[in-house]
Copies of this chain bind each other. A is one copy, B any other.
Amino acid sequence: MAIEFEPVSALHFWRETIVQSLRREAPDLTTRQMAILLTIYLTPPPHTVRGLAKALNVSKPAVTRALDRLGHLELARRRPDEGDRRSVLVQRTVKGSVYLNEFADAILAAAGTAQPSPS
């Protein structure tokens, strides 16, 4: 799928994607929660609370709370670090993979519809 991106069409594309996700029944994640979820799935492990907080410029309690919510939704999972029991390793789940696959589809669909308006 090839896209020619200009500022206005970039905004159209963004709008199309988030409007689609508003319509879905999929759980509505905050920006922070989404950033954490994407980081877990897209960057190499291990992922710790402290590492996520630093990488995303967010406080540690905010990461903890986001993980509470993601865990409750079964989109991510906490697992104690056997090597250092102070640490927590954040891991992926099947539901999380499905959720992000569907979200990627929404992005691609939006990229398709937001395109045709060069005039």
Contacts and interface: CB of A to CB of B under 8 A. Distances in A.
Interface of A: 1-8, 10-15, 17-19, 21-23, 28, 30-32, 34-35, 38-39, 41-42, 56-58, 100-101, 103-105, 107-108, 111
20 contacts: A2-B3, A5-B108, A7-B104, A8-B104, A10-B108, A10-B111, A11-B41, A11-B42, A11-B100, A11-B104, A14-B38, A14-B107, A15-B35, A15-B39, A18-B31, A18-B38, A19-B39, A19-B56, A22-B57, A30-B30
A62 to B, nearest CB: 10
Nearest to A28: B31
Contacts of A28: 31
Q: Helix, strand, loop or mixed for chain A's interface?
A: helix
A31 to B, nearest CB: 5
Given A3-B5, A4-B2, A35 B19 contact: yes
A100 to B, nearest CB: 6
A34 B12 contact: no
